Amino acid sequence: MPVLVMKFGGTSVANLDRIRRAAKRIGVEVAKGYDVIVIVSAMSGQTNKLVGYVEETSPLFDAREYDAVVSSGENVTAGLMALTLQEMDIPARSWQGWQVPLLTTSAHSQARIEEIPTDNINAKFGEGMRVAVVAGFQGISPEGRITTLGRGGSDTTAVAFAAAFDAERCDIYTDVDGVYTTDPRICSKARKLDRIAFEEMLELASLGAKVLQTRSVELAMRYKVKLRVLSSFEEQSDEAGTLVCDEEEIMESNVVSGVAYSRDEAKMTLLSVADRPGIASIIFGCLSDAGVNVDMIVQNISEEGRTDMTFSLPTDQVKRAEKALAELKASGGLNFSDLITDMDVAKISVVGIGMRSQSGVAAKMFKVLSDEGINIKVITTSEIKISVLIDRKYLELAVQALHDAFDLDKAA
Are residues 42 and 180 located together in one domain of the fold? yes
Taking 80 as the threshold, does the pLDDT of residue 251 lie above it? no
Q: Are strands 3-8 and 35-40 parallel, antiparallel or unpaired?
A: parallel
The number of residues making up the chain comes to 412
Instruction: Report whether pLDDT(176) > 90.
Output: no
Provide the pLDDT for residue 14.
95
Pick the residue with more confidence: 31 or 210? 31
Pick from 398, 400, 342, 401: nearest CA to 374: 398
Among 248, 265, 300, give the residue marking a domain's end. Answer: 248
Residue 384, helix vs strand vs coil: coil
Average pLDDT, the chain: 92
Cα–Cα dist 280/294, whole Å: 12
Q: Is 364 annotated as a binding residue?
A: no
**8 a known binding residue?**
yes
Residue 197 lies in a domain: yes
210 belongs to an annotated ligand binding site: yes
Q: Is 175 marked within a binding site? A: yes
For residue 359, name the pLDDT band (cuts at 50, 70, 90).
confident
Question: Is residue 130 annotated as involved in ligand binding?
Answer: no
pTM of the model: 0.82
Query: Is 223 annotated to bind ligand?
Result: no
Helix/strand/coil percent split, the chain, to 5: 40, 25, 35
For residue 412, is it within any domain? Answer: no
Name the residue with higher pLDDT: 208 or 409.
409
* Mean pLDDT, residues 248-263: 84
Residue 389 CB: number of other CB atoms within 10 A?
A: 26
pLDDT bin (cut points 50, 70, 90) of residue 209 is: low
Cross-strand partners of 101: none
d(CA 210, CA 143): 33
Least confident among 77-81, 260-264, 373-377: 260-264
Among candidate residues 203, 226, 248, the one where a domain is terminated: 248
Q: Are residues 215 and 283 in the same domain?
A: no
Is 411 within a domain?
A: no
Report the pLDDT value the prediction gives residue 237, as an integer from 0 to 100. Answer: 66
Residue 228 counted as an annotated binding residue: no
Does residue 65 sit in the same domain as residue 174? yes
Task: Kindly report the CATH number assigned to the domain that includes residue 130.
Answer: 3.40.1160.10
31/94 Cα distance (integer angstroms): 20
Instruction: Flag whether 87 is marked binding.
Output: no
Residue 354 lies in a domain: yes
Does residue 370 lie within any of the structural domains?
yes
Q: Are residues 241 and 270 in the same domain?
A: no
Consult the annotation and say whether 215 binds a ligand. no
3-state SS record for 202-228: HHHHHCCCCCCCHHHHHHHHHHCCCEE
Predicted confidence band of residue 208 (pLDDT cuts 50, 70, 90): low
Q: Please name the residues in contact with 207: beta carbons below 8 A apart, sequence gap of 6 or more.
A: 260, 261, 262, 347, 349, 351, 385, 387
- 149 and 225: one domain? yes
Work out the average pLDDT over 127-153: 95
- Coil vs helix vs strand at 93: strand
Find the mean pLDDT for residues 53-73: 94
Q: What band does 320 get if pLDDT is binned at 50, 70 and 90?
A: very high
Residue 82 maps to a domain? yes
Instruction: Specify the number of domains making up the chain.
Output: 2
- One domain, residues 157 and 13: yes
180 is an annotated ligand-binding site residue: yes
The domain spanning residue 358 has which CATH number?
Answer: 3.30.2130.10
Same domain membership, residue 274 and residue 214: no
Provide the pLDDT confidence category of residue 173 given band limits of 50, 70 and 90. Answer: very high
Return the minimum-mean-pLDDT range out of 98-102, 357-361, 374-378.
357-361
Say if residue 5's pLDDT is above 70.
yes
Give the structural domain span for 396: 254-406
Query: Which pLDDT belongs to residue 142?
Result: 97
pLDDT for 6-34, tens place per residue?
Answer: 999 999 999 999 999 999 999 999 999 99
Asked if residue 7 belongs to a known ligand binding site, the reply is: yes
Q: 177: annotated binding-site residue?
A: no
